[in-house]
Chain A
Amino acid sequence: GQQVMQIPQYQHVQEGEDFTTYCNSSTTLSNIQWYKQRPGGHPVFLIQLVKSGEVKKQKRLTFQFGEAKKNSSLHITATQTTDVGTYFCARGTGGFKTIFGAGTRLFVKA
């Protein structure tokens, strides 16, 4: 119902390679948020997408929201060791709840 499916569960990349994580929902999303959690750290808000087809960039990170507002992606160009961590997508519900995807753990080998 309200769950968001996130894939892959984890990914190992060589430093300099690109990385993408995907978030999918069976229902239309009003918004999608992305968070990064470093090992041993806490989730840090990266961005929120609300418009159909929206694309936002933050340096090497590109966030997309699908035209049907049922999927989203986070793409990192030329990964660096500082990108290591778990990336979560999250959906807001009509109330105060935020439902997190399972997360994608990114490992970057120098």
Chain B
Amino acid sequence: DTEVTQTPKHLVMGMTNKKSLKCEQHMGHRAMYWYKQKAKKPPELMFVYSYEKLSINESVPSRFSPECPNSSLLNLHLHALQPEDSALYLCASTSSGPRETQYFGPGTRLLVL
């Protein structure tokens, strides 16, 4: 199984809502990533978890809160987002680090109204 799954596929939320994005992989990968991708732009790294611990936070606003409940799951909690946060949110995983193949999930397309 070389698949990373993400739910939901699409999400529309108001600026006062609280929602969560979910990511799951069963490849035994120990590093999991959240990226944000705006239209016609490359993915931008947000967070990295290594062995279920937060390794990198790329100065992401606190309205985005990551969580890694176990080695297979990665969540991104959203609260009080702004319209400019509308984007494709991609989850990825690697067996150990960025020199390994990164497997991306299909992403969640988020629209903030």
Using a CB–CB cutoff of 8 Å, the interface residues on chain A facing chain B are 30-31, 33, 35, 41-45, 48, 50, 88, 92-93, 95-103, 105
Q: How many positions in chain B have a CB within 8 Å of any CB in the partner chain?
A: 24
Interface of B with A (CB < 8 Å)?
A: 31, 33, 40-45, 48, 50, 55-56, 88, 90, 97-99, 101-107
The answer to whether B90 and A96 touch across the interface, beta carbons within 8 angstroms, is no
Assuming the contacts A96-B50, A96-B55, asked whether A48 and B42 have C-beta atoms less than 8 A apart, the reply is no
Q: Is the CB of B99 within 8 A of A97?
A: no
Is A42 touching B41 in the complex (CB atoms < 8 A)? no
With A95-B55, A96-B56 in contact, do A101 and B99 touch (Cβ < 8 Å)?
Answer: no
Q: For B90, list chain A residues within 8 Å (CB).
A: 42-43
* In the complex, number of A-B residue pairs with CB atoms less than 8 Å apart: 58
Residues of B within 8 A of A95 (CB): 55-56, 97-98
- Cα A48 to Cα B94 in complex, Å, equals 13
Contact across chains for A93 and B98 when beta carbons are under 8 A apart = yes
User: Residue B41 contacts which of A93, A96, A97, A102 (CB distance < 8 angstroms)?
Assistant: A102
Chain A residues within an 8 Å CB radius of B98: 92-93, 95-98
Q: Which residue of chain A has its CB nearest to the CB of B6?
A: A42
* A-B pairs, 3 with minimum CB distance: A100-B42, A92-B98, A98-B98
CB-CB under 8 A from A42, the residues of chain B are 88, 90, 104-107
Cα of A62 to Cα of B45 in the assembled complex, Å: 28
Is B42 touching A103 in the complex (CB atoms < 8 A)?
Answer: yes
**Residues of the A chain whose Cβ atoms lie less than 8 Å from the Cβ of B40:** 105
